[in-house]
Amino acid sequence: MTEHLMKILIVGDGNVGKSSFVHRYVNGQFNKMYKMTVGVDFSVKLLHWSDKEKVRVQLWDVAGQERFISMSRIYYKGASGCVIMFDVSSSSSFLSCRHWKQDLDNKAMLPNGDPIPCILLANKCDLAQRVVSADSINTFSKANGFVTWMETSVKENKNVGEAMRRLVQEILST
Ligand code: GDP
């Protein structure tokens, strides 16, 4: 039995659903009043990936920022993958994804110098008031080297596990 340890970062503007995502993924719940943590925090989930492989996912969430700030290199150190999240009802949170991706690529890389696998998540897809179109997300995702992009709703538990599985699969294959 092989056990892989993966440090996965989750970044994006404040209020897009990062803490809720981590909470949902790790505990399988959606809690509206989930307490905002201060500073860096990580949660752990053990995946029984195959007969021969387990994956211990460490999900690092930086909570408490309202807008883009350049993150410390310490946060990025040793990361195997990243989730960049925005809120489909907030165009500014989508625009910030460019900065988050640039910051990531500047500060984190695989031992061979390649960028680390990163998935783009369009969260809150349950909301009617969408302002970011699928076309623009698709174009942005392709132009900026994301593994892929997915719509998620942490509220309705849509694509939370699927998104993480896609990212873990990509990390295992790199
Ligand atoms: P963070 O600042 O990025 O960590 O965002 P939070 O996890 O604190 O979530 C911000 C707000 O968005 C909270 O009120 C959540 O309940 C809400 N939220 C998170 N995910 C969803 C979702 O998929 N749909 C809807 N409608 N609300 C969500």
Q: What is the pLDDT of residue 111?
A: 87
**Inter-axis angle of helices 160-172 and 18-27, nearest 10:** 80
Ligand 1 pocket, residue 35 CB under 6 Å: no
For residue 54, report the distance from its CA to the centre of ligand 1, in Å. 30
**Residuewise pLDDT in 10s, the chain (174 residues):** 999 999 999 999 989 999 899 999 998 665 554 444 445 567 889 999 999 999 999 998 876 554 455 667 777 889 999 999 999 999 999 999 999 999 899 989 998 889 999 999 999 999 999 999 999 999 999 999 999 999 999 999 999 999 999 999 999 998
Q: What is the pLDDT of residue 61?
A: 82
Q: Tell me: ipTM over 0.95.
A: yes
Give Cα separations from 60 to 3, 97, 113, 120, 167 (angstroms): 19, 17, 22, 16, 14
Q: What is the pLDDT of residue 77?
A: 85
Q: What is the pLDDT of residue 43?
A: 86
Q: What is the pLDDT of residue 34?
A: 45
For residue 17, report the distance from its CA to the centre of ligand 1, in Å. 4
Ligand 1 pocket, residue 157 CB under 6 Å: no
Q: What is the pLDDT of residue 38?
A: 42
Give this prediction's pTM: 0.92
Ligand 1 pocket, residue 90 CB under 6 Å: no
Q: What is the pLDDT of residue 37?
A: 46
Estimate to the nearest angstrom the gap between the alpha carbon of 17 and the chain centroid.
10
